[in-house]
Chain A
Amino acid sequence: AQKITQTQPGMFVQEKEAVTLDCTYDTSDQSYGLFWYKQPSSGEMIFLIYQGSYDEQNATEGRYSLNFQKARKSANLVISASQLGDSAMYFCAMREGIRGSGNTGKLIFGQGTTLQVKP
């Protein structure tokens, strides 16, 4: 069964430092997508970054980068130069692969990691 595991319930980082949030996944699909979302206390899930299973290079979006290690089935999020506004819950998610016309592309989420940035 497909599963996302985030083993860090909470993380602290000093402002302006880099932080890595861990994510491991389990799937038997060859084609899949990995996502990171940020959820502030307001509740809205904000898309941060995407990595496809066949992408050879790690995805980057501004201060966010995804450290994709396919053999280890890990997709860690790296936030560089942390800002106070980065304090939020972060979710790793996987989109199931294509299985014919019945594929929904539903997202499977991990339990999340709470990040607190200290001034």
Chain B
Amino acid sequence: DAGVTQSPTHLIKTRGQHVTLRCSPISGHKSVSWYQQVLGQGPQFIFQYYEKEERGRGNFPDRFSARQFPNYSSELNVNALLLGDSALYLCASSARGFQETQYFGPGTRLLVL
């Protein structure tokens, strides 16, 4: 079975632009979580979605938003990009979200210039 997939793998944007990152969970998984990993640090939780509803939000500004589709795939949107948004964005899927192990995708590396 395919693991978690993310697209694109790499992205370069300029300050002020908007970006959309995509994630497809493992087949059968209904929960998707997003994490931001800045270079040299551990991942930080951004959002979790389960059955298309937001279950949790981390300490990120409103420029960050996400949604989950009926097929359980998910998008993370970031508006008005800042240099500090440069990071590896990781998507993780789990069967339900709160008691199962989260399995991560390969990530999207975003560079904001």
Contacts and interface: CB of A to CB of B under 8 A. Distances in A.
Interface residues of A, number: 25
Given A106-B56, A109-B43, A112-B42, A35 B101 contact: yes
Interface in B59-113: 88, 90, 92, 94, 97-107, 109
Interface of B: 33, 35, 41-45, 48, 55-56, 58, 88, 90, 92, 94, 97-107, 109
Interface of A: 4, 33, 35, 37, 42-47, 50, 91, 93, 98, 102-112
A105 B107 CA distance: 20
A106 B58 contact: yes
A102 B50 CA distance: 12
A61 B39 CA distance: 29
Given A43-B107, A44-B106, A104-B55, A109 B42 contact: yes
B79 to A, nearest CB: 23
